[in-house]
């Protein structure tokens, strides 16, 4: 007797989905990008504007994808959207990009940032960087071998914890900061100072990750309603938080000092504001923030690999689509994603990986944003969710995505072309897998005839 097929469990409600959106967005960016945004903008006023503009671009992107996600509420997110709109090959390349480049790179970059904080916090040697990054990925991956409600609960807990350092920075900056948050200029900043576009680009890494909730479309209760709500509410919340945190940082520290401190701006502010013990406690909150963000990524990316394997789009699809019958988790896909990320941790630094992952995913974002126009023509009936201010909202999203792509091509043409080359490798793999599947189908047909 054939055993019933094990499927993913549709058990995530609005609060779990909302926590995953906020948790996968608020990670390292808001704590590590303050100085780089300020340096590029040239003044605190322009830097604050960059955070707002980056948030608005991200919000328009989220509103656009929310309409598509409500119409196509399946596990796989962007992979499914690209296939339904543009066909099987483009869907495959979108999924391939996420499981080979974007997903592992963003997980590895977060693990790298986390290792830097842990080494500093415990006063360890730099030789511990790679080991700590690997240990963090393995431990969080192990948590996601259990039922998705455990990963979702962990997302809610870490999201609440990560809001503590955010709230502390806001309160200190607004009520106890003595600097003028607006109008400060950066003396002696690097050559890109005054480049507002570069400043916006730096904020977009901090805002990225919101689309990953779409990968869980097949595990969300009533996804037509909950998915758009989670994306829109989550991004609005993050936009407000990021803007106010940046205002608090600029009010708490002079611009020249922020420029000098670089990545150490937030830890330094925490220590100055709350003393050595308070600063360490606040830094623990930042560490938890990154752990929570990693949890969201590790929870969502294997779902893309699982969705592709279910369609026999990958080599070893039968193994990659395995779902544990007790936990209903794609265990093999999770292990493979972590293994690829582990290789990246050993060979690349966190900053390079963060730039690489943003560029590759925005190449496909453009096509997805254009897809909302195509879907409206093909499916003109009532929609579960409609993008507000259509067509202005998706047009802004498209322009923002093109800006990211062009900026990265100018700043790192070799890295950008290399990442596109890795994506292009997916094409021969797609045709080889399909040819092999066709041959197996023919053999099965011949056997049945005999």
Prior bond to 150 cis, omega within 30?
no
Share of the chain above pLDDT 90, in %: 16
Confidence of residue 327 (pLDDT cuts 50, 70, 90): confident
- Predicted confidence at residue 411, as pLDDT, reads 75
Share of the chain above pLDDT 70, in %: 86
Range with the largest mean pLDDT of 4-8, 156-160, 282-286: 282-286
Confidence of residue 229 (pLDDT cuts 50, 70, 90): confident
Range with the largest mean pLDDT of 74-78, 158-162, 299-303, 352-356: 299-303
Pick the residue with more confidence: 161 or 60? Answer: 60
Q: Measure the CA–CA gap between 19 and 281, rounded to whole angstroms.
A: 22
Per the prediction, the chain carries an average pLDDT of: 81
CA triplet 339, 340, 341: central angle to 5 degrees?
A: 90
- Predicted confidence at residue 399, as pLDDT, reads 92
- Predicted confidence at residue 333, as pLDDT, reads 92
Q: What is the CA radius of gyration of the chain?
A: 22
- Predicted confidence at residue 332, as pLDDT, reads 92
- Predicted confidence at residue 20, as pLDDT, reads 73
pLDDT score of 191 more than 60: no
pLDDT score of 449 more than 60: no
pLDDT score of 12 more than 80: no
CA triplet 37, 43, 48: central angle to 5 degrees?
A: 60
- Predicted confidence at residue 448, as pLDDT, reads 55
- Predicted confidence at residue 2, as pLDDT, reads 45
- Predicted confidence at residue 52, as pLDDT, reads 92
* Least confident segment among 153-167, 300-314, 353-367: 153-167
- Predicted confidence at residue 170, as pLDDT, reads 82
* Least confident segment among 15-24, 93-102, 425-434: 15-24
- Predicted confidence at residue 92, as pLDDT, reads 92
Q: What pTM does this model have?
A: 0.80
216 - beta bridge partners?
75
Mean pLDDT of 209-234: 77
pLDDT score of 158 more than 80: no
Mean pLDDT of 228-239: 88
Pick the residue with more confidence: 154 or 421? Answer: 421
Q: Measure the CA–CA gap between 400 and 56, rounded to whole angstroms.
A: 10
* Tens digit of each residue's pLDDT (9 = 90 or more) over 329-359: 888 999 999 999 999 887 777 667 777 777 8
- What are the chain's domains? 14-425 (1.20.1740.10)
pLDDT score of 70 more than 80: yes
- Predicted confidence at residue 183, as pLDDT, reads 66
- Predicted confidence at residue 9, as pLDDT, reads 55
- Predicted confidence at residue 154, as pLDDT, reads 74
* Tens digit of each residue's pLDDT (9 = 90 or more) over 283-318: 788 888 888 888 878 888 888 888 888 888 888 888
* Tens digit of each residue's pLDDT (9 = 90 or more) over 252-271: 888 888 888 776 777 777 77
- Predicted confidence at residue 151, as pLDDT, reads 65
Confidence of residue 227 (pLDDT cuts 50, 70, 90): confident
- Predicted confidence at residue 398, as pLDDT, reads 94
Range with the largest mean pLDDT of 156-170, 227-241, 430-444: 227-241
- Predicted confidence at residue 440, as pLDDT, reads 65
Confidence of residue 190 (pLDDT cuts 50, 70, 90): very low
pLDDT score of 90 more than 80: yes
pLDDT score of 162 more than 80: no
- Predicted confidence at residue 215, as pLDDT, reads 64
Range with the largest mean pLDDT of 221-230, 312-321, 363-372: 363-372
- Predicted confidence at residue 13, as pLDDT, reads 76
């Amino acid at each position: 007797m054939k055993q019933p097929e094990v499927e993913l469990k549709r058990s995530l409600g609005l609060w779990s989905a909302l926590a995953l959106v906020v948790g996968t967005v608020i990670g390292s960016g808001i704590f590590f990008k303050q100085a780089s945004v300020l340096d590029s903008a040239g003044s605190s006023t322009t830097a604050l504007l960059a955070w707002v503009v980056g948030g608005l671009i991200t919000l328009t992107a989220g509103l656009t994808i929310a309409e598509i996600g409500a119409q196509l509420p399946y596990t796989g997110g962007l992979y499914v959207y690209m296939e339904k709109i543009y066909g099987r090959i483009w869907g495959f390349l979108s999924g391939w990009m996420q499981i080979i480049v974007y997903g592992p790179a963003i997980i590895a970059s977060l693990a790298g940032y986390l290792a830097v904080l842990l080494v500093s916090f415990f006063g360890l040697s730099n030789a511990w960087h790679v080991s700590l990054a690997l240990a963090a990925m393995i431990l969080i991956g192990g948590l996601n071998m259990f039922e998705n409600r455990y990963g979702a609960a962990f997302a809610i807990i870490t999201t609440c914890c990560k809001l503590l350092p955010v709230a502390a920075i806001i309160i200190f900056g607004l009520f106890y900061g003595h600097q003028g948050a607006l109008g400060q200029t950066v003396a002696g900043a690097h050559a890109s100072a005054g480049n507002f576009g570069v400043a916006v680009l730096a904020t977009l890494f901090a805002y990225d990750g919101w689309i990953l909730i779409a990968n869980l479309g097949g595990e969300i209760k009533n996804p037509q309603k909950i998915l758009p709500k989670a994306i829109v509410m989550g991004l609005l919340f993050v936009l407000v938080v990021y803007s106010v945190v940046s205002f608090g940082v600029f009010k708490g520290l002079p611009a020249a000092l922020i420029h000098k401190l670089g990545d150490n701006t937030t830890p330094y502010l925490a220590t100055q504001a709350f003393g050595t013990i308070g600063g360490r406690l606040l830094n623990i909150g930042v560490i938890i923030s990154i752990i929570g963000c990693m949890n969201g990524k590790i929870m969502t990316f294997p779902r893309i690999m699982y969705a592709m394997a279910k369609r026999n789009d990958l080599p070893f699809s039968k193994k990659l689509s395995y779902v544990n019958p007790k936990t209903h988790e794609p265990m093999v896909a999770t292990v493979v994603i972590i293994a690829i990320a582990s290789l990246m941790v050993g060979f690349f630094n966190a900053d390079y990986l963060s730039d690489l992952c943003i560029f590759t995913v925005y190449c496909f974002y453009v096509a997805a944003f254009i897809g909302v126009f195509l879907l409206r023509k093909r499916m003109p009936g009532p929609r579960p969710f409609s993008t507000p201010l259509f067509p202005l909202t998706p047009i802004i999203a498209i322009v923002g995505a093109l800006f990211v792509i062009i900026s990265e091509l100018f700043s790192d043409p070799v890295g950008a072309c290399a990442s596109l080359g890795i994506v292009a490798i997916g094409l021969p793999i797609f045709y080889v897998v399909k040819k092999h599947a066709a041959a197996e189908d023919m053999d099965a047909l011949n056997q049945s005839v005999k």
